[in-house]
Structure 1
Amino acid sequence: MRVSLNWLKDFVELPSSLSPKEIANDLTSKTVEVEEVIDLAENFTDMVVGEILAIKAHPNADKLKICSVAVGLDEPKEIVCGGSNLRKGMKVVVAKPGAKVRWHGEGEPVELKETKIRGVTSFGMICAANEVGLEDLYPMQDEHEIIDLGDLDKPAGMAITEALGINDVIFNIDNKSLTNRPDLWGHYGIALELSAIYDAPFKPINPVRALPENNDCRISLNAGDVPRRFSAIYATDVTNGEAPDLIRKRLMVIGQRPINLFADITNYIMFAVGEPTHVFDADKVEGKELRVRFAKKGEELLLLNGGKILFETSDEYVVVADQKKPLSLAGIIGGEDSGVTDETRNILFESAVWDPSYIRRASRKLNIRTESSLRFDKGIDTYRVDLAKSMFLDILERWDIPLGSIALVGDQHPLPTARNKIKINKTFICSRLGMEISDNFIDSTLKKLRFDVQKQGDTFEVIAPSWRSTGDISIQEDIVEEIGRMIGYDNIPIKPLKIELLKPVIQPQVIMEDRIGEFLTLSGGMFEVYSYPWSSEQLLRACGYAEETLLEMADPPSPENRFLKPSLIPNLLHIAERNYRTEGIMPEDVRIFEVGWIFLNKQGEKYSIEEEDLPLQIKQCGGLIIGNDKTMVFREICGLALDSLSYANAVGIYPKISKEQKNFPWIHGRANVSIYAGKEMIGTAGLVSGRILRALGIKDRFVGAFEFRLDRLTAMVIDNRKIAPIPKHPGIFYDLAVVFDENVAWQEISKIVYKACPQIRNVVFIEDYRGKNIPAGKKSVAFRMELRDDNSTLTAEMADNIAKNVLAILFEKLGGELRTS
């Protein structure tokens, strides 16, 4: 959020000695995080008001003119310009040498220098609005039009920021730091904080004045607890022209585009006090009645942003409607058909407060995020309506906005914001902050923050202001935080913490998961990934999951991601597909796995914790690889699954050919094996169905995947760990490729290699190969040995001798021969 220093000064008298940087630092340390301080004057350095004294033709260019311009120096300067609206006596924006502008409004700013244009020396530049970032204040009729400052009563040579009243400083505040402070989504709330920080006089908005009641218009609420307050004002005989200059400039400096009088007034009120408001064209409201109700199935609403909503259900979304149709989506966005235009003559001004949980849910489900919804979903107090109404009336009076009559239509307040009361003991405050604090400091600090405080003995009864009672201040710790931040966390003395070291808790489940991940990463060459707990509907459908088997979220992150994932494989396939399409990544490099929870929609089966019964959740491990050899992919993915379980010391695990794969609809119908733990099937491994690969656009490659339950494995794991000293001498990795008969199994090979020599500490399978230079009925098996001696460092010669011994034993027992080509 962008906050204007000049705007803040409307509400608080800040000490003149304060610099913007000091204000930013104090706000960051005590209230909200200021990410950047922007001095607008720096963007307009060496830009001044100029007055055109004379114009003559350029001798070498028909479309250019030579202007004699007063710029506040001893003599006028000649500037070459191609503006289409140049005239004698015109006040313009002149960028002098040294200023930075964007040529024709494009690219990065370029520093100007005095230069010759078609043979004529030009002092600087007469600027168009888009060249200096003023297009919102001075919309261009054509690309050659320069800024016409009109009847601006400012002398030539005055800095343009001073002349236009935009010599301001902007604080760019991180929105995340405002999440729990809905009162700070406007300048009024930030000013209140600065008033407390500096004990500076605050200038509150006047109470809303009484208005006569209007009997021609009505309001009605029929949407449950969603509307907490709804108020409307009716004004006649208005003219929707241009907003007052100050309002337009205030909006421009905080990054908002001025639109028209009433759109700008509502935006001005929202950024001033944090209360979104809306203006309807009263003549487009059927029956002159604003009805807050639920949208009906089949109704349509054209939105101000050009979008359209077709309501597919009833009693889900709240709208503000007239007697025939919806006019706006309550608290989120207005409707096109009832919006104000240049022809608007009578208006209905709405100021309301809505249930934050409803706004948050509706805006997410419809994927519509606006400045209004951002504020309402944080929880605005209902009394902020009074600030908005008072400011609306003040603007009409201050700038003498022409109108006929103005009256109150109605103000319904079914759910007033209750001020939270908290009792807190001084000892509690001091113990939590770790320092002694006086009663007077506690009392004065809270009162500066607009809390009401009553002291009884050692206890304070604190009543939070309404704007802090919508979820921000509710418990004792919140009061401690208020006092602590006003002290300044840097000023709280540092004390060492007392730590009691306890014996570590042995967690077999965690150890097992770590072992599986360690094997897949180090030995399997796989990368661990983390995915969201949901999957897209399209992806789940492609993977064969029927909608009735899925768990739908009540508040999904987006309409297409409304189902919790029933398997790890769909999201792994999505990650693989994205990497498959990424230039520079070989498909064979995609080797990923995930350990995470899946969510099943099974009647009668629950995941129970102390507080409640939840839908069935199972922790699983899933993995995926891509390759161009179907047989190799199948063998490797099965080996990775089973070997990872073996590495985790799980016993009683074995593969079994099974046709029962209904829980794994993504698996290939014939190229799969089931994984059993004892008599229970806990997972599967094999190739992914070609139907799914075609749907994902993965061509000319095969994908292997495995998935197994982790919750069934803890009882199958035995602890056979042995404590051994850290090796004193480094090891050597030695690779061999040996040709065997086709029927020789890796398990048999690895056992013989392990026993061949005591210096062999580990044996890892790399690959097997059939093809060129390998005789029919044979295969080449590559493996890696880890060699290490406890008494000395192995030399290359010693490693070669160990390898020769291994080859001799393999030849003797299995007929294996070293592969030479």
Structure 2
Amino acid sequence: MKISYKWLKELIEITESPEEIGVLLTGTGLEVEGIEEVESIKGGLKGVVIGEVLTCEKHPEADRLKITTVDVGLEQPLNIVCGAPNVAAGQKVIVATVGATLYPTGNEEPLVLKKSKIRGAVSEGMICAEDELGLGESHAGILVLDTDLPNGTPASEYFGISSDFMIEIGLTPNRADAASHYGVARDLKAVLNRAIKLPSVESFAVENHNLPITVTVENEEAAPRYAGVTITGIKVSDSPEWLKQRLATIGIRSINSIVDITNFICHDLGQPMHAFDADKITGNKIIVKTVAAETPFVTLDGQERKLSDLDLMICNETEPMCIAGVFGGLTSGVTAETTSIFLESAYFDPAWVRRTAQRFSLKTDSSFRFERGTDPHMPVYALKRAALLVKEIAGGTISSDLIDLYPNAAYDFEVNVKYRHIDRLLGKPLDKSLIKTILNGLDISVVDEDENGFLAVVPLYRVDVQREADVIEEILRIYGFGQIELSAGLSSDFLSDFPVNDPEKLKMRLSELLAANGYNEIITNSLTKPEPQASLGESVFGNPVKILNYLSEDLSVMRQTLIFSGLEVIAYNTNRRQKDLKIFEFGKTYHELNGKYSEKERLALFISGNFQEETWLEKSRDVTFHDLAASVNQVLSAMKVKNVEKEAADANIFQQGITLTLNKKPLVTFGLLKSAITKKGDIKSPVYFADFDWDYLLRQYNYAVQFKEVSRFPEVRRDLSLVVEKKITFEELRQIAYKTEKQLLRSVNVFDVYEGANLEGKKSYSISFILQDDQQTLTDKVIEKSMQRLITTYERELGAVIRK
């Protein structure tokens, strides 16, 4: 962002040099990246003076050259050879003396004047034409002046050449309040304890009602405040030099007087404005609304754009005229033929402007400010100020009441601040009166103060100051970072409440656990192809989230699962003879269902190939379901998750698999992927996949250490073999056991399963039960009673046959 030093001096008293102001601003957080002198004529015509031609004679060696003597206020006149046809004795002329640097019109390289000999005659300077000075295009002859100024007067004084300094600030995104000269002056006000001088607008007055404009705001969410006024009888022309120079200093090209005024107000007060040709406002109606999707609209750059139904538009009775807060329309802007205007000054919601500007890739001075947050209290003052400037520069009459639609006024932010927090974060206790002086200098009011703290009332234009830490940062940046002495030992502190379950720390802990078990982490693209996901059916993951401006079909949708990105990694490695793989990924998935979008965090595990390499002691073997199950259990154990229940996994994805649920909500699904899925990734070997709902898993983590005394009494094992229907799973047997023997049963394990021709339609389980009493040693009688209770329950509920 560029700031004019002279412009800044009009707002606040400045006796410091531009360099000193740069140091002060950098100290407040508005880092000055450079200071450059800017002159209305490049080079400022230094070394160029007014002279008087005393004599003019023909050069003896050249018909087109003349030898002159020119009085430039020195003791002796200068000898100058001149080739201009109109040079003559007695003329007042512009002379570039030896050592002067000129920037001729159309020349890229500057011209440095040196003492020289031209056809044998000494020449001690140059009598200049208009183009040689960079003042215009003419080279017909030298400039002949009509002036009584004494010889030797600097040409810059005659031409009224002005000089200014451009201060370039690297504005951080949070400092929307400083995106103007007024905003920068507010920081200087707090640092220097000097008052700001804003021009008065008390002379603003409605002069007639010849051009009333009706304004309707249909979308108050996107346009919380909208103000405007009409001015008739204006004459659009070039801007005065002072306005051109102000804009030129900060790199803005002058267009015409009306547009220049709106640009001036934008950079002066931070309030973007727009001027409409009132004759183009059909029906004398302004309607602030959204329009139908795909509505064509031609912007000021002549490009046709297709609007969406989320683009806020400024419309007349029949058509859109301007993209609110972003860019004007081609047909409704001010031209040389414009005689009446409607001036707009508004507060638009930052999110609406940001979305539209990003969608159209339009970054304007207006959108830069609106999308960061402007001051809702500024539109009316800025409107009056602009209207008065229009009357001063372009003439005209204010011909309507000032319209100000502000149905839901916003209130200042309120932040509770504790003095002990200020001292703790600053690392140095500050006097309470100094704290209040700094805050008052920043227009932050201190109310409800007691010995412990106060309530800070923060103005709306400080959108970045809404927390206690923000207020303390404001105190620090004005007090000065350099005034905080370094302590003997380094330390840090914070005010934020951090969650007990830090997701990043838990991710790191699990990553280390998986890496220790042979897994490698992968990070894949969230953008993917639509075809593989679509093959699973919409019922599995919902509808895909499509990219509106995708670069290729291969990157046109957001991924709905981590399956296919993981398979791409497996295929890539397999094709390079790296077939034994154990990989994991933390990543997000994206879904759309019934018009609602969601984003979920997942943890995925993949294993494929051999579980271990072949050695002299043991042969290699393929990975199995139980290898993946062991890893899943390790993750659940590390996250301290217990009491999960089992269900069958989705048959659309898994050839065989299990879903572990907690409180009837899926926690992790794992198993062998269907070959139809792996073949889509050109993978021939089996791939086992586990998909954790990381968000849900994270919520289950309990960092508290749980323990109990180790029992002093021995545990007892009893085995049981039973024949049941083939469809009955071990999980059902386990749950029945725990439900039946709640007091003594510690664990249940299956150590043998048999299916054979002699057990048609049935299956035999051999199960071990561990029994223990924490209060006493178990007797045979108690043990037999518990086992009989289990047998009876299995026989009654499952029709089990107990094998003796």
TM-score by length of 1: 0.61
Which of 467, 470, 475 aligns to 1:478? It is: 470
1:21 corresponding residue in structure 2 = 19
After TM superposition, the structure 1 = structure 2 runs for residues 47-66 of structure 1, keeping only pairs within 5 Å, are 47=46
SS in 2 for 1:243: coil
Per-residue Cα deviation, 1:293-316 (whole angstroms, up to 9, x for no partner): 1123453322112222233x44x2
Alignment partner of 1:597 is 2:599: no
Q: Distance in 1 between matches of 2:519 and 2:69?
A: 78
After TM superposition, the structure 1 = structure 2 runs for residues 337-352 of structure 1, keeping only pairs within 5 Å, are 337-352=331-346
Change beyond 3 A, Cα 1:602–1:22 = closer
Contact 2:543 2:593 in 1 (8 A): no
Q: Distance in 1 between matches of 2:685 and 2:242?
A: 64
SS in 2 for 1:391: helix
2:31 corresponding residue in structure 1 = 33
Change beyond 3 A, Cα 1:571–1:86 = farther
- Which of structures 1 and 2 has the bigger CA Rg? 2
SS in 1 for 2:425: helix
SS in 2 for 1:293: strand
Q: State the shift of 1:117 in Å.
A: 7.7
Q: Distance in 1 between matches of 2:566 and 2:141?
A: 56
Contact 1:67 1:79 in 2 (8 A): yes
Per-residue Cα deviation, 1:666-693 (whole angstroms, up to 9, x for no partner): xxxxxxxxxx99744699999989xxxx
Alignment partner of 1:260 is 2:260: no
Q: State the shift of 1:396 in Å.
A: 3.7
SS in 2 for 1:418: coil
2:106 corresponding residue in structure 1 = 104
Change beyond 3 A, Cα 1:345–1:118 = farther
Q: State the shift of 1:427 in Å.
A: 2.4
What letter corresponds to residue 422 of structure 2 in structure 1?
I
Change beyond 3 A, Cα 1:403–1:712 = closer
Contact 2:266 2:272 in 1 (8 A): yes
1:414 corresponding residue in structure 2 = 407
Q: Distance in 2 between matches of 1:145 and 1:708?
A: 87
Q: Distance in 2 between matches of 1:573 and 1:169?
A: 60
Q: Distance in 2 between matches of 1:444 and 1:710?
A: 60
Q: Distance in 2 between matches of 1:154 and 1:645?
A: 98
Per-residue Cα deviation, 1:55-109 (whole angstroms, up to 9, x for no partner): 9999999999999988776646747689999999798795963537488343x66
2:164 corresponding residue in structure 1 = 168
Q: State the shift of 1:418 in Å.
A: 1.2
Q: Distance in 2 between matches of 1:557 and 1:82?
A: 63
After TM superposition, the structure 1 = structure 2 runs for residues 636-715 of structure 1, keeping only pairs within 5 Å, are 653=623, 679-680=672-673
Structure 2 residue runs of 5 or longer lacking an equivalent are 494-504, 570-582, 615-619, 626-651, 654-668, 695-804
Which of 427, 430, 434 aligns to 2:423? It is: 430
Change beyond 3 A, Cα 1:305–1:457 = same
Q: Distance in 2 between matches of 1:53 and 1:571?
A: 83
Q: Distance in 1 between matches of 2:372 and 2:98?
A: 47
Q: State the shift of 1:410 in Å.
A: 1.5
Q: Distance in 2 between matches of 1:309 and 1:186?
A: 30
Alignment partner of 1:289 is 2:285: yes
Change beyond 3 A, Cα 1:25–1:436 = same
Contact 1:50 1:69 in 2 (8 A): no
2:440 corresponding residue in structure 1 = 447
Change beyond 3 A, Cα 1:297–1:476 = closer
Q: State the shift of 1:414 in Å.
A: 2.4
1:231 corresponding residue in structure 2 = 227
Contact 1:2 1:171 in 2 (8 A): yes
Structure 1 residue runs of 5 or longer lacking an equivalent are 521-527, 576-592, 607-612, 623-637, 656-661, 664-675, 690-702, 715-821
Contact 1:52 1:67 in 2 (8 A): no
SS in 2 for 1:453: strand
Q: Distance in 2 between matches of 1:368 and 1:84?
A: 52
Change beyond 3 A, Cα 1:429–1:39 = same
Q: Distance in 1 between matches of 2:128 and 2:147?
A: 16
1:306 corresponding residue in structure 2 = 302
Identity %: 23
SS in 1 for 2:545: coil
What letter corresponds to residue 347 of structure 1 in structure 2?
I
What letter corresponds to residue 171 of structure 1 in structure 2?
I
Q: State the shift of 1:258 in Å.
A: 0.6
2:461 corresponding residue in structure 1 = 467
Alignment partner of 1:206 is 2:200: yes
SS in 1 for 2:305: strand
Q: Distance in 2 between matches of 1:550 and 1:229?
A: 38
2:11 corresponding residue in structure 1 = 11
Contact 2:212 2:230 in 1 (8 A): no
Change beyond 3 A, Cα 1:274–1:148 = farther
1:494 corresponding residue in structure 2 = 486
| Coordinate RMSD, CA, aligned | 5.6
1:510 corresponding residue in structure 2 = 511
Which of 237, 245, 250 aligns to 2:241? It is: 245
Contact 1:47 1:96 in 2 (8 A): no
Q: Distance in 2 between matches of 1:57 and 1:220?
A: 76
Per-residue Cα deviation, 1:237-273 (whole angstroms, up to 9, x for no partner): 1110011111100100111111111111111111111
Contact 2:94 2:127 in 1 (8 A): no
After TM superposition, the structure 1 = structure 2 runs for residues 619-630 of structure 1, keeping only pairs within 5 Å, are none
After TM superposition, the structure 1 = structure 2 runs for residues 322-333 of structure 1, keeping only pairs within 5 Å, are 322-333=316-327
Q: Distance in 1 between matches of 2:298 and 2:88?
A: 42
Per-residue Cα deviation, 1:697-736 (whole angstroms, up to 9, x for no partner): xxxxxx999999686899xxxxxxxxxxxxxxxxxxxxxx
SS in 1 for 2:224: strand
Q: State the shift of 1:53 in Å.
A: 6.3
1:799 corresponding residue in structure 2 = none
What letter corresponds to residue 474 of structure 1 in structure 2?
Q
Q: Distance in 2 between matches of 1:413 and 1:112?
A: 62
